[in-house]
Structure 1
C-alpha cells in the first residue's frame, strides 16, 4: 500500500494535516482548479506590469527600495539578488520536520493566487515535499512581519544553491535536485518576494505546536487522574452538576475526561476519602486544564485562518484584476494567542509541580516521606523536586510575552513587528519541559498507588499505570533516577500512553 496523500486547494488545510505531512511524510497533490488560479494570477501580473502599473516586488524594489524601478531585462537577476540578499538568518537550523511544515504551509497559501508567482515554483514546493528535499533553514532572524530572512533559504535551494537534506542526507542543493530529476528554477518577476515573504516559518511549526498542546492537556488530565488515585483524593470536584452551574466549556470537558479515566476506580466507593477538601492543586486541576483548552480553541480558530488565507503583500485580487498594497503579513492576532497559551501552560505546569510535591508529603497522603518504600534506608524521591521545579522555572520565564519587543527598521518604514517565530519556538519549549514534568508526576502517582496497594484502578488510569510500569518498575531501592525520568519523558512525548488510554475508555 502506498503512502497516504492529501490534495491541497488553498482553502481546507487543517492543523492535523500539517502535523501528518511533517511527521509522517504524506504525499502532496494539488487540485487542478488551484493550479489554474495560480496560472491566471501570473498572467494578470504580467499584464499589469507591461502596462507600467507600479507593482511592489515586481517592477519596483522592496522595503525602503520600493521607489526603485526594476526593468524587464533585469527581472531574473534582481530576483536572484533579492533571494541572496535576504539570506541573513542564523542558527540553529530548523528540523526536517519543521521544514516540511513550513513548505506545506507556504504551498497552500500560494494556491489562492494572491502572489502572482510562476506556477513552476508552486510545483517545486510540492516536489520538495514529495522527494523529501528539505532546505537548510536557519531559524533565527525573522521578526514575524513576513519571515523574509529565513524563508529566503528555500529560494536558495530552488535556484540550486545552498544545502538541503535529501532523503535525510545532507548535500548541496544542486546535487539533490539532480538526484530527484529536477531542474533549478529560473526566477522571474515577483518570484523572489513571493518566496521570501510569508508567515510560514512560524505558522507551519506553530500548527504542530498547537496539535502537541492539545495532546498535552489530554495527557495532563490522565496524569492528574492517576495522581488522584495515588493521593486518595476527593472526587467531589468532578461532580458534573458543579459544571452545569459554572458552564465554562474547557473545564467541563476536562472533568468529563477525568471521570472517564477513573471509571471503576476505588475512589468512587463510599467513605474512601477522608479529606473534606484537597489542596487547590488537586481540587482545581480540571479548571486549570480547562483554561488551556479554552485558549487552544481561540488560537486554533485563528491558525485555521492563517493556513488557508493569503499573507501576501502586495495582494493580487484576481477577480477585480488589481494588485494592491496591504498588511496581510500581520499575524499579531494569533501570536497573542500563543502568548496566552504559554501563560496558560505555565499555570498547568505549576499546578502539576504542586501536585507532585503533595504526593511526597505524608501529612497530605498518609504515605511515607518522599514515597520511600523503607524509611531510613531508601531516600526515594527526596531530591527529584529540584529537577521538576527548575524546569517549571524555565517555563515561567518562557511564558513572558515577547511579541511586544521590536524596533523600527528598513529606514523607519517597518515600525511594527510581532516576533511570531520566537513566540512559537518558546511555546514549543514550554511543551517539551512539560513532558518531563508530567512524566515525573506520573512516576510519583504510580509509586503512591503501589504504596497504597490500590488495586481497583479506573478504566483509563489502570492502562496508564501499566504502561508506565512496563518501563519504570516500582522504586524499591535507590537507583539512577535520571534514567527513569528520561523513560517517563519518552512515554509522555511519544503519546503512546495517550493513545492506549483513549482506546481503553472508548471501548465499551
Structure 2
C-alpha cells in the first residue's frame, strides 16, 4: 500500500525487474503463436461480450484491439483525479505484468513512461459498472488519441506524447482487451480511499482523546482490563492509543473521579473506533491481494505441459467492492461519533463552557454553524454509504447478467474520506477553541499540548466572530497530510 501511495501521490519512479520482463515476454510468445495457429481465444480471435461467437481472422486481430478502445471510451462526467489515474496505470502494470495476459513489454513500457514522466491520461469517471470505459479513455492516449495532462496543461493525446518525448504505439493482438479488463480502476480508487480512511481513524483517536480531556472525561472506559475481557485487537489498540495520548494530563488526573461514566460518544471510543479500524484492516488485506493478482480475462497459462487459454471472470470487482462498501459504512460511523463529541463541547448544558466556545455568545455565534456543516456532511456520507454492490443491472444482451458494481463502491471512498476529514477537523477546531475556557493552571497532556501549539501557529483563539472557513480547511489538511499524527507521535511514539 505504501509503495502504491508513493507512486500515486509522491511521483515515485517505477522500474521493471528482470523477472517482470521475463514473465511478460513468455506469455506474449504464446499469444503470437496461437494467433498464427488461429486458436480460439476470447477477445483475440473472437468478438467481445455478447459478440464472443463472432470469429476474427488473424489479419483482423490488431484492428479488433483498436476498435475496443474506441468503442469503449464512453464514460462521462468529471474526470478522475490525476492521483487516481496514476493509480489505475500502476494497477494495469501490476495486473498485466503477472505474466498471464499476453501483452508486449513495449505496451507496458509506455505506461511506465507515462508514470515516470508525469503524463496523465484524461478519463471521465462516471458510467462504469466495474471496469472498461475509464480504462479505454486512458488507453486512447497510448495510440495518440484522447487527452492527457502534461506539465499542468490538458492537451490532445498526440501533443501530450510529443511534449513528453514519446511516440504513439499500435496495439497488437490481445492488448486492447487487456488494457480495459480487470479490477484495476476499482482497486486503485479503493487503495487511495482506504489509505485515507486508516489515517483518519488514527486521527479520530487523537481528536477524540483531546475532546475527552477538554470535557473532563474519566478514563475507566479505557482500562486495559476492560479490553482484556473483550479481546478485539483494534478495540484494545484504540484504548491504548487514548491512554498514551492523555498520559501526563493534569486535567484527567484532577477530574478522574468526578463522574461514574461519560456519555457514549466518549466512553465508546475504543469499541466504535476499533470496529471501524478492523473493517479498514480487513479491506487492506483484500486490496493488497488484489494489487498483486492477475484480474485479466482470458488468462494465458504459460507453463510447459499445461499451456492453455482460459476464459473466466477474474475481472469481477466483488472483493474490493464489498470491502469498500463496508469501509464507507465504517467511515460514517466514525463521523457520527465525532459530531456528537463536538456537540458536547459547544453545548453549554453538556460541557459547562460558554455556548459555542465564544466568550460573548449572542453578539457572537462562535462555533455554532460548523456543527451544522458536520450535520450536512454526515447526511451526504449516509447517502454515499448505501452499498453499491447490492445493485444489479444486466448488460451486454444478458451475457453479463450479473454485475458486481464494485466500481462505485470504490469510487465513492475518496469523497467519503474527504468528508470524514472535514468532520474531524471541525471537532478538532472545537477542541482547540474550548481551551481558552479550561483552567490554564491545570496542564494538558504533552501530546495534546503539542497539537495545540502546532495549531496555534495557524489558527487564532476566537475572541469574537471570524471567518472560519480557512481554519477548517487548514485543520482538514493537517489531518489529511498526516501532520496531526506526526505531531502526536513525536511525543507518544507510534500509535496503533
TM-score of Structure 1 vs Structure 2, range by shorter chain: over 0.9
> SS where residue 277 of structure 1 aligns?
coil
Query: Which residues in structure 2 correspond to 1:129-168 (within 5 Å)?
Result: 129-144=115-130, 147-168=131-152
Aligned mate of 1:219, from 203, 207, 211: 203
User: Residue 186 of structure 2 contacts residue 317 of structure 2 at CA under 8 Å; is this kept in 1?
Assistant: no
Match of 1:481 in 2: 468
**Correspondences of 1:40-119 after superposition (within 5 Å):** 40-119=26-105
Q: Distance in 2 between matches of 1:482 and 1:131?
A: 36
Q: What is the CA–CA distance in structure 1 between the aligned matches of 2:415 and 2:300, rounded to whole Å?
A: 37
1:396 — aligned with what? 382
Which residue does the alignment assign to 1:331? 317
The 5-angstrom pairing of residues 127-276 of structure 1 reads 127-144=113-130, 147-269=131-253, 271-276=255-260
1:365-418 CA distance string (max 9 Å, x none): 222222222355433223332111111111111111111222111111101122
1:23-67 CA-to-partner distances (Å, cap 9, x unmatched) read 110111001111111111011122223333210111111111111
SS of alignment partner, residue 492 of structure 1: helix
Which residue does 1:11 correspond to in 2? none
Gaps of 5+ in 2: none
Match of residue 285 from structure 2: 301
1:416-454 CA-to-partner distances (Å, cap 9, x unmatched) read: 122222112222212111111111111111122220124
- Residues 334-483 of structure 1 correspond to what in structure 2 (within 5 A)? 334-454=320-440, 455-483=442-470
The aligned length equals 491
Q: Is the 8 A contact 2:216 2:255 kept in 1?
A: no
Q: Secondary structure at the match of 2:238?
A: helix
Q: Which moved more, 1:85-94 or 1:263-272?
A: 263-272
Q: Secondary structure at the match of 2:107?
A: helix
Give the TM-score, by structure 1 length.
0.93
Q: Which moved more, 1:99-108 or 1:41-50?
A: 41-50
In the alignment, what sits opposite 2:273? Answer: 289
1:39 to 7, 17, 25: 25
TM-superposed deviation, 1:288: 0.8
1:27 aligned counterpart, secondary structure: coil
Q: CA contact under 8 A between 1:266 and 1:272: conserved in structure 2?
A: no
Contact 2:182 2:296 in 1 (8 A): yes
Moved more, 371-380 or 179-188: 371-380
Q: Which of 111, 124, 131 in structure 2 is aligned with 1:125? A: 111
Render the CA deviation track for 1:236-269: whole Å, top value 9, x for unaligned: 1111111011101111111111111111111442
Quote the residue 1:6 is aligned against. none
Q: Distance in 1 between matches of 2:215 and 2:276?
A: 24
- Tell me which of 298, 317, 336 is aligned to 1:314: 298
Q: Could you say what the CA RMSD is over the residues aligned between the two structures, in angstroms?
A: 1.6
Structure 1 residue runs of 4+, over 4 Å off? Answer: 270-273
SS in 2 for 1:43: helix
Shift of 1:150: 1.2
Gaps of 5+ in 1: 1-14
Q: CA separation in 2, counterparts of 1:148 and 1:308?
A: 20
TM-score, length of structure 2 as denominator length: 0.96
Separation of aligned partners in 2, 1:219 and 1:375: 30
- Asked if 2 retains the 8 angstrom alpha-carbon contact of 1:230 and 1:447, the reply is no
**Kept in 1: contact 2:199–2:480 (CA 8 A):** no
Residue 326 of structure 1 deviates from its aligned partner by: 0.7
Partner of 1:506: 493
**Conserved 8 A contact 2:317-2:407:** no
Distance (Å, rounded) in 2 between the aligned partners of 1:225 and 1:443: 14
Q: Indicate the larger mover: 43-52 or 253-262.
A: 43-52
Report the more deviating stretch, 438-447 or 458-467: 458-467
- Residues 348-368 of structure 1 deviation map (CA, whole Å, 9 limit, x = unaligned): 111111111111223322222
**CA shift at 1:166, angstroms?**
1.7
Change (3 A) 1:296 1:376: closer
Shift of 1:180: 2.8
> How far, CA to CA, are the matches of 2:208 and 2:21 in structure 1?
49
Q: Distance in 2 between matches of 1:325 and 1:376?
A: 69
